[in-house]
């Protein structure tokens, strides 16, 4: 407990799977947490849940934000100015659109929407985080950007716009880590495996064949859980990871290291 004591943290996509689990752990570890999401009603449910499971949480607030809109992201980060400035941002909001497909069938508007949220949203979050760290004279700051294992290994069940967007997240995170290392600002990318969250599970539905196409590649034989990602994010957010910078932080049960899965 207390691993994030007094740190001012923002989580985007906070109403969903990884985001909400991370907010809960951040609050348990003593952080002040701004929950940010595009959906107001989902945010209200999320903060209610957070308050019920962490009754002694420090400062908590919500902010409706579309991460693809620069003015929204600027306002979100300015929200924590009155808390003493930002210490940690988890740029986690992302989409995987149902119409995303291969090179032939992906509609251009789905490509553009995916890049706007998954890539531009991470750029805006990183940009205003650096400006806030500097404004408040912070000597350290941690930015964690959600990528995916599909940025590391190819998938024969393609979502080309999504895969490209997550590759961009890895590349921009690495470069930001180098640009700001001497200021004490760390940037790491989280690479989750396919998870038991609505983003993927709603898309798979009860299609057994689609599920099997994925499950056969998991060394552990199961999808990951959002809480397993959140545990890694707490580490990357905290000072325990002070010498971890510019990494593709893979939390995938060994999936991307596997040639043949165990029987
Ligand atoms: P989720 O769908 O449960 O949560 C995503 C949240 O982002 C939702 O609450 C949604 O309202 C919000 N959001 C969507 N568009 C937004 C926007 N424009 N601005 C602000 N918020 C927006 O998904 P999750 O599984 O928790 O995914 C979180 C992140 O993890 C995403 O970036 C996703 O790509 C990534 N990821 C997920 C998986 C998986 O299998 N679920 C695997 C690898 C990576």
Q: What's CA 176's distance to the chain center, in Å?
A: 16
Q: What is the dotted CATH code of the domain comprising 8-197+226-251? A: 3.40.50.720
Predicted pLDDT of residue 40: 98
DSSP string, the chain: --TTTT-EEEEETTTSHHHHHHHHHHHHTT-EEEEEES-HHHHHHHHHHHHHH-TT--SEEEEE--TTSHHHHHHHHHTTGGGT--SEEEE------TT--STTT--HHHHHHHHIIIIIHHHHHHHHHHHHHHHTT-S-EEEEEE--GGGTS--SS--HHHHHHHHHHHHHHHHHHHHHGGGTEEEEEEEEPSBSSHHHHHHHTT-HHHHHHHHTT-TTSS-B-HHHHHHHHHHHHSGGGTT--S-EEEESTTGGG-SS---
Q: What is the pLDDT of residue 148?
A: 98
Q: What is the pLDDT of residue 263?
A: 83
* Residue matched to tokens 């531009």: 120
> Does the C-beta of 200 come closer than 6 Å to ligand 1?
yes
Say what the pLDDT of residue 201 is: 86
Q: Which of 93, 153, 213, 229 to mutate to test the pocket of ligand 1 (most atoms within 8 A of CB)?
A: 93
Query: What is the predicted pLDDT for the residue at 2?
Result: 96
pLDDT value at position 211? Answer: 87
57 C-beta closer than 6 A to ligand 1: no
Q: What is the pLDDT of residue 12?
A: 98
Closest CA to 34 of 95, 1, 97, 78: 78
Q: For ligand 1, atom 24, name the residue with the nearest CA.
A: 17
Which residue minimizes the CA distance to atom 12 of ligand 1? 13
Owner of token pair 């979100």: 76
Q: What is the pLDDT along the chain (263 residues), one digit of tens a residue?
A: 899 999 999 999 999 999 999 999 999 999 999 999 999 999 999 999 999 999 999 999 999 999 999 999 999 999 999 999 999 999 999 999 999 999 999 999 999 999 999 999 999 999 999 999 999 999 999 999 999 999 999 999 899 999 999 999 999 999 999 999 999 999 999 999 999 988 788 888 888 888 888 889 999 999 999 999 999 999 999 999 999 999 999 999 999 999 999 88
Q: Which of 24, 75, 147, 199 to mutate to test the pocket of ligand 1 (most atoms within 8 A of CB)?
A: 199
> Taking the domains of the chain in order of start, what are their residue ranges?
8-197+226-251
User: Does the ipTM surpass 0.95?
Assistant: yes
State if residue 251 touches ligand 1 by the CB under 6 angstroms criterion: no
What is the structure's pLDDT at 186? Answer: 99
Centroid of ligand 1 to alpha carbon of 92 (angstroms): 6
**185 annotated active-site:** no
- State the pLDDT at residue 1: 80
Q: What CA–CA distance (Å, rounded) separates 249 from 148?
A: 10
């Amino acid at each position: 407990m207390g691993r994030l004591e007094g740190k001012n943290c923002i989580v985007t996509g906070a109403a969903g799977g990884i985001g909400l689990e991370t907010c809960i752990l951040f609050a348990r570890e003593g952080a002040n947490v701004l929950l940010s999401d595009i959906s107001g009603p989902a945010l209200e449910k999320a903060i209610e849940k957070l308050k019920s499971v962490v009754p002694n949480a420090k400062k908590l607030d919500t902010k409706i934000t579309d991460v693809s809109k620069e003015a929204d992201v600027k306002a979100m980060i300015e929200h924590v100015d009155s808390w003493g400035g930002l210490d940690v941002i988890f740029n986690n909001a992302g989409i995987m659109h149902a119409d995303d497909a291969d090179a032939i069938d992906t509609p251009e508007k789905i490509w553009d929407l995916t890049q706007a949220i998954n890539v531009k949203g991470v750029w805006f979050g990183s940009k205003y985080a650096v400006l806030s760290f500097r404004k408040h004279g912070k000597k350290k700051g941690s930015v964690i950007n959600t990528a995916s294992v599909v940025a590391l290994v190819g998938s024969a069940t393609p979502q080309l716009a999504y895969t490209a967007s997550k590759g961009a997240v890895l590349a921009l995170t690495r470069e930001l880590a180098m640009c700001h290392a001497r200021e004490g600002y760390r940037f790491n990318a989280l690479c989750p495996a396919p998870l038991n969250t609505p983003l993927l599970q709603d898309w798979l539905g009860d299609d057994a064949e689609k599920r099997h196409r994925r499950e056969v590649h998991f060394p552990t034989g199961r999808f990951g859980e959002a809480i397993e990602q959140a545990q890694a994010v707490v580490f990357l957010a905290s000072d325990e990871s002070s010498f971890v910078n510019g990494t593709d932080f893979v939390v995938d049960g060994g999936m991307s290291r596997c040639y043949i899965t165990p029987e």
